[in-house]
Amino acid sequence: MLRRAGYNIFGIASEDVYIDLLTDSGTSAMSDAQWAGLMRGDESYAGGRNFFHFEETVRKIFGLPHVIPTHQGRVAENLLFSTVLEPGDIVPNNTHFDTTRANVEVNGGVALDLVIPEGREPRARHPFKGNMDLGKLERCLAENRGRVPLVMLTLTNNSGGGQPVSLENVRGVREVCSRNSVPLFLDACRFAENAWFIREREPGQAGRPVAEIVRDVFSLADGCTMSAKKDGLANIGGFLALRDEAWVEKLKNKLILIEGFPTYGGLAGRDLEAVALGLREVLQEDYLAFRVGQVTAFGEALAAAGVPVVEPIGGHAVYIDARAFAPRLPPEHYPGQALTVALYREGGIRAVEIGGVMFGKPDPKDPGREILPDLDLVRLAVPRRVYSNDHLAYVADVTARLHREPEALRGLRIVHQAPVLRHFTARFEPI
């Protein structure tokens, strides 16, 4: 199967995967209440009842008055950036997720990552490694007056290891934004997991209801983009929510062009119902304690077996440092990709490489070589409400075994690749 797939796990059929940790996006198991909600779908073109339930839920949870549904998160990003960016504008973020970066860049903008220095170090221990560097943000806004249409913060910081942002840091970012009259938008994909970390780790927040922490965080924002495929506990869906009336008008007109009428936004009515219910369920504290606890226990089991993981463990995934895992393999033989292949071969496990294959670029000075990113990671993302602790203990066992037998990993060379986003379709052969 690996040979047929060109040693790229994206080419493997899901039926042929035992434990699928490719992503936590759209892979949640829906609850009985959500499935029941699907049966109450109102598929009217305009003004369906599920939309009003969805809108009321988003307003209540996030406190943002204008709610625009989209079929997934990247469309919310597309709408926002194609409306507010001028070529040459700058968008600071803790760390842009790939689709966010792409939507900024395709509209002529510059996507700037200003996470604190600890956020870039796999083993630096800091309770909120997703925090924005306030000094750098202040300087960026001072030096680029009139060229920053908005600041973003990604909760949790997916590209930086699923690390949370503290309430104090959101306040700090808000103050810098207010002083410079720049709006603040949150990428809310994993808002509930982020709020849980605030409750667990931030002084003065212990024991507070998670829903209250969420309201506090979002009261500091002018808007948010959301993929309901994560903390919406749904298989599809997303939205853009904001305060500014002038932007809403433009955004809705564009929504009609690319997604659909503003009361369904590219979704079936029943999908809006599943999202509305999922957004409430994700705030249940027994759910969050289990969810974040499960991912932490999984990561700690790996760390205890000597597997080099990004620490502290993030909210939705465990990230393995592949260069440290397989020091024998040179970075240009793609150790992260080699590990994803070995995990599948040895355990039927599917993970995703976030390293040289995903981010490597040809060196303009020497076309035979590549410029590789600083880190070569493998992400084991845990779908919500899908796997038991035993499933993850099995994954930890297989990974620990591979770590003890580093010769089980073979480097790879690329034999075919697309000009952009090559990691989805590249084909390899073992070296």
Which chain residues interact with ligand F0G by CB under 6 A? 23, 25, 72-74, 97, 99-100, 154, 158, 187, 189, 227, 229, 238
Query: In whole angstroms, how close is the CB of 381 to ligand F0G at the nearest point?
Result: 6
Q: The tokens of 296 are what?
A: 């932490």
Q: Is 381 helix (H, G, I), strand (E, B) or coil?
A: strand
Query: In whole angstroms, how close is the CB of 161 to ligand F0G at the nearest point?
Result: 12
According to DSSP, the residues that pair with 319 across neighbouring strands are 379
85-114: buried (b, 16+ CB within 10 Å) or exposed (e) per residue?
beeebbbbbbbbbebbbbbbeebebbbbbb
The dihedrals phi and psi of 430, each to the nearest 5 degrees, come to -70, 150
Query: In whole angstroms, how close is the CB of 18 to ligand F0G at the nearest point?
Result: 19
Closest residue to ligand F0G, judged by C-beta, is 73
Query: In whole angstroms, how close is the CB of 226 to ligand F0G at the nearest point?
Result: 8
Q: Are 131 and 177 in contact (CB under 8 A)?
A: no
Q: Which is nearer to ligand F0G, 99 or 205 (CB)?
A: 99
By CB neighbour count within 10 A (0-12 exposed, 13-18 middle, 19+ buried), where does 201 fall?
middle
126-142: buried (b, 16+ CB within 10 Å) or exposed (e) per residue?
bbbbbbbbeebbeebbe
Alpha carbon distance 326, 370 (integer Å): 20
Alpha carbon distance 168, 260 (integer Å): 38
Query: In whole angstroms, how close is the CB of 304 to ligand F0G at the nearest point?
Result: 26
Encode 206-243 in three state secondary structure: CCCCHHHHHHHHHHCCCEEEEECCCCCCCCCCEEEEEC
Alpha carbon distance 425, 111 (integer Å): 25
Query: In whole angstroms, how close is the CB of 17 to ligand F0G at the nearest point?
Result: 15
Query: In whole angstroms, how close is the CB of 203 to ligand F0G at the nearest point?
Result: 26
Q: Which is nearer to ligand F0G, 385 or 401 (CB)?
A: 385
State the number of CA atoms in the 13 A half-sphere of 282 facing the CB. Answer: 30
